Structure 1
């Protein structure tokens, strides 16, 4: 099976390495020519959980016309880049099934408004950090959960071939549930780590950060009580511990001086709660602080 991954960030490279390891043909579609050349020339280097290193040969290009039109496409870019990639795919007459792996929930509507007959969504709870254009560090194991939004599940079933103890893959039926579960986790971890500038594990080690973390959990579960059973407090703490040495995506953006994904993660959840006449006062305060940091252009 051939898989095209649009976006070679930490999660894109991590997924690509495991798919290639499982015997699939993986090609990356990158924004920059120099990254495509590095991946094509040297392959993906994955630093494993035991700190050993594995290299996987992949193909890569900056030219969408060189890519397979009927391959399985994985959209691995951040939310802000999704619409541009989809427009390029439509122009190139891509026909294959499309899997979206963005943080947050704002991409859900965008995906359903596309023309592709087979679309699916995935959440990825691994700890991963991009070290350079071809190197990703695997820092923690978590599930990759896939749910088909439209079309035939068989179009995505090949991904199960990469299922392993270090890269578990499961399928579920409800895209909204898996995306909401993940975005609620993101809302508890990303804003605090970005504002406090700490790694994920420090949220449950520092008593003051832990207090805020607990308050966020209680506030979110009050607004979305239907998720309390599928997202117990211990599970969210477990995510922090499993990815203890990882920088959250939002902190990574802040450290790199990039705009943080506030709208698709934090703002989208606040709006979702308001639809049910629920107010998220603490999360709203964190949202305003994050926007202030972003607009202030502050990096580290």
Structure 2
């Protein structure tokens, strides 16, 4: 096998589809036998932006593969499930090169606290929605950026095999920069879409939504001015436009009754701003609203 993907949500399925299409042998580790059977029997069904469909054949299992060659592992589980997975990998003494794809910032320290010799971190700006156990809808072309972490970063060049106009992949020397840029984009989009229950594109087309979006951008760039050359409002608007019909991960979690990733995205950025003695009152208010929606306001 060339690549192992742990987690078959929207991002895991999208990555698995394009990596398999590029000629790599992909194994996906999932939690349920039903999903494993659907993937093994039918492959990953990807609905492209133009309405066409692509079927990619992969192998799916509910068991952790051990004793194999050294494929790159892509860890695509949600942050809330990451620590349990890391404990399991440690117990099984699996030390393969691992690429972490989670939202927010907290997973950076969590992964670096492991004994994994080679690790990297990636951000995904594509719009994707899982429709069923083996179907993903590609709602908008974005960018996959791989940031170098610990050890040999060249190992993760295998992911660039999938690079194409519809699935661009790039690499960066600094994983922390890559994660910080993405988490700021998340903070400008996710809380507003989750609270207002709108798709990403409405932050541009709805005047009231857009006013809040611009105010949030200005506040965060004022708090982190070093990021301004790398994160213009046009760039964030382009993410909204490219994923116009996509529900943000935070809105999807809210609608599905799952815990929203407030702490690792919103709270983490507020704490970073506090360290710089900068105030982010709008983001702090949105954080309180999100915790209130989850019924966890007392934990603030």
Q: TM-score range by the shorter chain?
A: over 0.9
CA distance in 1, matches of 2:148, 2:128: 24
- The whole-number CA distance in structure 2 between the counterparts of 1:58 and 1:67 is 19
1:190 Cα offset (Å)? 0.3
Partner of 2:278: 278
Structure 2 counterparts to residues 174-189 of structure 1, below 5 A: 174-189=174-189
TM superposition shift of 1:93: 2.0
User: 2:119, 2:153 within 8 Å by CA — same for their partners in 1?
Assistant: no
- 1:68 positional shift: 4.0
Q: How far apart are 1:269 and its partner, in Å? A: 0.3
Find the counterpart in structure 1 of residue 148 from structure 2.
Answer: 148
Question: 1:65 touches 1:92 (CA, 8 Å); kept in 2?
Answer: no
Q: 1:1-300 alignment to 2 at 5 Å?
A: 2-65=2-65, 68=68, 70-295=70-295
For 1:31 and 1:106, locate their aligned partners in 2 and report how far apart those are by CA, in whole Å.
Answer: 23
Offset at residue 158 of structure 1 (A): 1.1
Conserved 8 A contact 1:46-1:55: yes
Instruction: Work out whether residues 29 and 61 of structure 1, in 8 Å CA contact, stay in contact via their aligned partners in 2.
Output: yes
Q: How much does 1:105 deviate?
A: 0.6
Question: Which 5+ residue runs of structure 2 have no aligned equivalent?
Answer: none
| Secondary structure of the corresponding residue to residue 246 of structure 1 | coil
Greater alpha carbon shift after TM alignment, 163-172 vs 66-75: 66-75
The alignment yields a C-alpha RMSD, in angstroms, of 1.4
Alignment TM-score, normalising by the size of structure 2: 0.96
**For 1:98-136, what per-residue CA distance to the aligned partner results, in whole angstroms no more than 9, with x for missing partners?**
000101111010111111111000000000000011000
Aligned pairs, number: 297
Structure 1 residue 69, shift from structure 2 partner: 6.5
- Long gaps (5+) in structure 1: none
The whole-number CA distance in structure 2 between the counterparts of 1:15 and 1:26 is 10
Identify if the C-alpha distance between structure 1 residues 143 and 65 changes in structure 2 by more than 3 Å, giving closer, same or farther.
closer
- Deviation per CA, 1:165-190, whole angstroms, max 9, x where unpaired? 00000011111111000000000100
Q: 1:68 to 1:88 in 2, by over 3 A?
A: farther
